[in-house]
Amino acid sequence: MLIYRPDGGFAQPPAELAPSPTVLAGRRIGILDNRKPNADVLLGQLAERLADRTGATVVRTETKNAATACEDQVLGLLAEEVDVILTGTAD
């Protein structure tokens, strides 16, 4: 028998990831802390190790809350100031 698939189409996502740089040396790494408990620990140590190994510069910033989308103002600043962003959840 023929049945409809239940998912339907999907819209274009509002943003797509930029291509990742192949070399981090000399790049600026942005840490986007979503303020989940331990996110700062995880991301901070990751950034420090990357900086030590590659010589990259690290810039730290944070969002208001992990439950809502990052503010446009924060994203705009990061877009101007860094080449790569590390973010993610924790706890």
Partner 1 sequence: MTVDIFSEDLLQVDDDADLIDAMAEHGWGDGLPVVAPTTERVDAMLLGCPRTDPDEVVAVLPPRFGEATRRTLAVNAVMAGCRPEHLPVLVAAVRALARPEVNLRGVNATTHNVAPLVVVHGEVARSGGYNGGRGALGPGNRANATTGRALRLVLLHVAGAIPGDGDASTQGGPAKYGLCVAENADASPWPLYPSAIGMEAPSAVTVHCGEAPHNVHDMESDDPARILDKVASAMATTAQNNACISQGEFFVLLCPEHAATCAAAGWSRRDVSSYLFQRARLPAGELKRAFGLRAWASWMDQLADDELVPMTEHPDNVRTMVVGGPGKHSSVVPSWGMTRSVTLPIQEPEGRPC
Residues that bind partner 1 (CB under 8 A): 1-14, 35-37, 64-65, 67-69, 89, 91
CB of 67 to partner 1, least distance (A): 4
Of residues 8 and 19, the one with the C-beta less far from partner 1 = 8
Is 37 or 52 the residue whose CB approaches partner 1 more closely? 37
User: Of all helices (H) and strands (E), which one includes residue 28?
Assistant: strand 28-33
Beta bridge partners of 62: 33
- The nearest distance, CB 11 to partner 1, in angstroms, is 5
Question: In the sheet that 57-62 helps form, which strands lie side by side, from edge to edge?
Answer: 57-62, 28-33, 84-86
Comparing CB distances to partner 1, the nearer of 2 and 25 is 2
Least gap, CB of 87 to partner 1 (angstroms): 14
Helix or strand run (H / E) with residue 84? strand 84-86
Q: Which two tokens stand for residue 64?
A: 């208001």
CB of 64 to partner 1, least distance (A): 8
Cβ burial of 24 (10 Å; 0-12, 13-18, 19+) is middle
